Amino acid sequence: MTTSTFITIDLTDTTQPADVPASSVVVLVYRGTESGQTLDTADLEQAVAHPLMAAFSAVQHHWTAITEARHRGRVIVLAPATAALGDPLRPLDCAVTGALISFVRSVAIELQRHGGAANAVFYDTDPNEPAVTELIAALTAEHAAAVTGQEIYAANGTDLGRLHP
């Protein structure tokens, strides 16, 4: 199994370098917010709008490299499983993660035309968990383009029994 080298972009980092060289494999990491969450305008801007714009901008920046890679271009979004499944104490994280799931599906549809793939991987406590890194290796493998538009949970069976839309 041949895997690709990839660039990792933290969606909550507000100081992303502008001159990052384009990569055909992009891993977007959303860790959620660290502070208490309220639904006021300032929180919405920082906690919701910024990570979504960062995801869009990152994929847009790397799009040419991703689509020209033919069957090797990948976009993978990592996010906390609790945010994907709904956490009543973290409504903004849940909103961002829901939007990222939709984003991944849209990117997957577009990438399919170019032989690429996009998927969302949900982790338990840390995006560097061994199960997550192994999933990234599998999803970026040369022959893994058929796996696209999926929500994949690497969080100790967290999704068991979940109803998918």
Cβ neighbors of 77 (< 8 A, separation 6 or more) are: 27, 28, 30, 55, 100, 103, 104, 118, 119, 120, 121
Q: Is residue 18 situated within a structural domain?
A: no
Between 41 and 76, name the one with better pLDDT. Answer: 76
Instruction: Give the tens place of pLDDT for each residue, 93-146.
Output: 888 999 999 999 999 999 999 999 999 999 988 899 898 999 999 999 988 989
Q: Is residue 19 situated within a structural domain?
A: no
Give the pLDDT score at 160: 57
Q: Is residue 110 situated within a structural domain?
A: yes
For the whole model, what pTM was predicted?
Answer: 0.84
Q: Is residue 2 situated within a structural domain?
A: no
Give the pLDDT score at 125: 86
Domain containing 143 — which CATH number? Answer: 3.40.50.720
Q: How many domains does the chain have?
A: 1
**What is the percent of the chain with per-residue pLDDT over 90, rounded to a whole number?**
35
- Pick from 23-32, 44-53, 146-155 the range whose average pLDDT is largest: 146-155
Q: Is residue 164 situated within a structural domain?
A: no
Q: Is residue 163 situated within a structural domain?
A: no
Q: Is residue 161 situated within a structural domain?
A: no
- The answer to whether 118 and 108 have CB atoms below 8 angstroms apart is yes
Q: Which of 11-15, 136-140, 146-150 has the weakest average pLDDT?
A: 11-15
Q: Is residue 123 situated within a structural domain?
A: yes
